[in-house]
Structure 1
Amino acid sequence: MNWITNYVRPTINSLFSRREVPENLWTKCSDCGTMLFHRELADNLNVCTNCGHHMPIGARDRLLSIFDGGVFVEVDVPEPVADPLHFRDQKRYTDRIKEARRKTGEKDAMLVAEGEMGRTGVVVAVQDFSFMGGSMSMYVGNAIVAAAERAIELGRPLVLFSAAGGARMQEGILGLMQMPRTTIAVQMLKEAGLPYIVVLTHPTTGGVTASYAMLGDVQIAEPNALIGFAGARVIEQTIGEKLPEGFQRAEYLLDHGMLDRVTKRTDLKDELVTIIRLLMKQDPAIKGDLPAPGNLSEIKPQEPLQLSDPIAPDAPK
């Protein structure tokens, strides 16, 4: 009986019992509804293989996909004063920061790194929308200044990926002051004769759009990215007219001269390499000779951005 109870019965039950399926193996495309296997989606840089919809990608995963072999070194960013206004709404600002750091594993809403892209040295700054909506804070201002100073020190171009809902309201005027401060950092790059390339991702809005995100020597955007200052509803209510279809989307801005290119994420690295080598007066890269990106198979699917979320902008910051 013991042999039957302890071995035979559990073996039979294991053959016919329902196996548990790990979570996050499949992600549903928020645009076409296709179910996508997580490894296939990660290998395609979180771009739907069926309809081409660009889903959110983490800031660190973005760096991994851009740098040769996924190898980069982070640039130190000075820590600003924590909670200078002692702000509190439903939660303390310090508690919100702790929660965002626990959720993302990052210090704040921007990462700065240096490395090689297409065998060309670059400094890259990436805004992380998952950290309090990528809101522009004193830390973000410090990060852009640090990125510009490091680029000037090394004589390298600066590539910035923007993604934000505007200035961080918990820092009030101190957050808004990062607009002129980052503009000066960009001017430092221009005076040094170094390229400043901006890649606008979904969404880029508010004070970020009104400052460093629209000051690039070359302006590139990902397909269907939302780019603007005020929300569409605010504009409609202000001017009393219906806005055209696709207003504030990347393709509309490209047609009206606000952007230079709209490029798929999977083609972005090659395009950036071509532009950087051209602006740095280097020989064109030989196709097939460029190092491969890092291993992206471990990218975890992220929740699609919901523009109805409170952090999404409907009014200027």
Structure 2
Amino acid sequence: MINNDGKPTHQELQKRMDDIPAVWIKCPICGHAIYKKHMNEYRDCPECHYGFRLGAQDRIKMVCDEFEPINLDIKAPAKFNDPKYLAKLEKARKVTGLNEGVLSGIATIDGHKAAVGVMDWRFVMGSLGSATGEIIARLFEKATELNMPVILFTASGGARMQEGIESLMQMAKVSEAVAKHSKAGLLYISYLCDPTTGGVTASFAMQGDLIFSEPHTLIGFAGRRVIERTIQQIPPKNFQRAETLLKNGFLDAIIKRADMKETLSNVLALHEGGGSND
């Protein structure tokens, strides 16, 4: 719209501003501004190596040479029929191309076979619903059947409260599948991505034989505000970041994305008895 003096209205100016494509992205950790066209293949900050959030398919391409998906047809049961919740699920399916918030399959990494699962933060913030838990539990069961290690990339806001108590029950269901996999003497690598919080952190994310993380990943159970109100104190600024957890013994290593595939390949080789003393 144009005013009588020939100049665009405030609404028109705002519309034009909104239509300008964003060409810069700011690192949420160090504040470094990155020109989008110069973003590297690993989508991490060149200054502090914070990894910008990835969809499940992008991470699979980054890590796996081959990937055969399984359990693609599993979705939230029809009994969860609240219209608002159904609208959220439909939107998430369109955005991610997935029926649920985790993509699982049998993969090859530098010739090493593994069962791989990747939680997708774009699907209702990676929340743990009944279908999410079912897919992850089946991944561990399949790995146990095939005598394979599991690599699980977590990224979650916690339990999906639209499903009530059934969302919380997934913690126990997946943990049981993890325990059976462990009892069979098989390796479980838990790889924590930004963010890993709530019931996922309180269960299978922290049950790995090896627990890795990306730099500056947010890892915790309750949110900062809840903790502050509970303990009536102000926690340290980075108390829920990967570096603090590593310092206090909750992680085995923090691995930059550029080293992610090589590290996983080396660990799988050692697990198979293929490591060397070089």
TM range (shorter): 0.7 to 0.9
1:197 to 164, 189, 202: 189
Superposition deviation, residue 250 in structure 1:
0.3
- Say yes or no: does 1:74 pair with 2:69: yes
Q: 1:249 aligns with which of 241, 261, 277?
A: 241
Q: Deviation string for 1:29-85 (max 9, x for gaps)?
A: 3343423243x4252x111234423211111010001012xx211012562553424
Q: Does 1:272 align with 2:272?
A: no
Is the 1:141–1:182 Cα contact (8 Å) retained in structure 2?
yes
Q: Which runs of 5+ in 2 are unaligned?
A: 1-19
- Cα distance between partner residues in 1 of 2:277 and 2:24: 35
Judging changes above 3 Å, is the alpha-carbon distance between structure 1 residues 155 and 210 closer, same or farther for their aligned structure 2 residues? same
Shift of 1:280: 2.7
Counterpart residue identity of residue 49, structure 1:
P
2:60 maps to a residue whose letter is L
**1:148 aligns to 2:140 (yes or no):** yes
Matched with 1:46 is 43
Residue type at the aligned position of 1:128: D
Looking at structure 2, the residues matched to 229 and 81 of structure 1 have their Cα atoms a distance apart, in angstroms, of: 24
Structure 1 residue 220: Cα displacement = 0.4
Provide TM-score, normalisation by structure 1.
0.76
Q: Distance in 1 between matches of 2:263 and 2:277?
A: 10
Pairing 1:199-218 to 2, within 5 Å after superposition: 199-218=191-210
Q: How does 1:117-196 map to 2 (within 5 A)?
A: 117-196=109-188
The structure having more radius of gyration, on CA atoms, is 1
Task: Tell me, yes or no, if structure 1 residue 60 matches structure 2 residue 57.
Answer: yes
Contact 1:77 1:146 in 2 (8 A): no
Match in the other structure for 2:92: 100
- CA distance in 2: counterparts of 1:86 and 1:179, whole angstroms: 22
Instruction: Decide whether aligned partners of structure 1 residues 284 and 60 sit closer, same or farther in structure 2, where only a CA change above 3 A counts.
Output: farther
Structure 1 residue identity aligned to 2:52: M
The answer to whether the 8 Å contact 1:198/1:220 transfers is yes
What letter matches 2:79 in structure 1?
Answer: P
The answer to whether the 8 A contact 2:74-2:135 is kept is no
Q: CA RMSD in A?
A: 2.0
d(CA) in 2 for partners of 1:220, 1:53: 14
* C-alpha distance 198-162 of structure 1, shift in aligned 2 (>3 A): same
Q: Distance in 2 between matches of 1:224 and 1:57?
A: 15
Bigger relative contact order, structure 1 or 2 (CA pairs below 8 A, ≥6 apart)? 1
* 1:247-284 residue CA offsets vs partner (Å, 9 max, x unmatched): 11100000011111011111111111122222232234
Number of the residue aligned with 2:14: none
Residues 116 and 85 of structure 1: is their aligned pair in 2 closer, same or farther, counting only changes over 3 Å?
closer
2:117–2:151: 8 Å Cα contact kept in structure 1? Answer: yes
CA gap of 1:172–1:248, structure 2 versus 1, over 3 A, is: same
Q: TM-score, with normalisation over the residues of structure 2? A: 0.86
- Percent identity over paired residues: 37
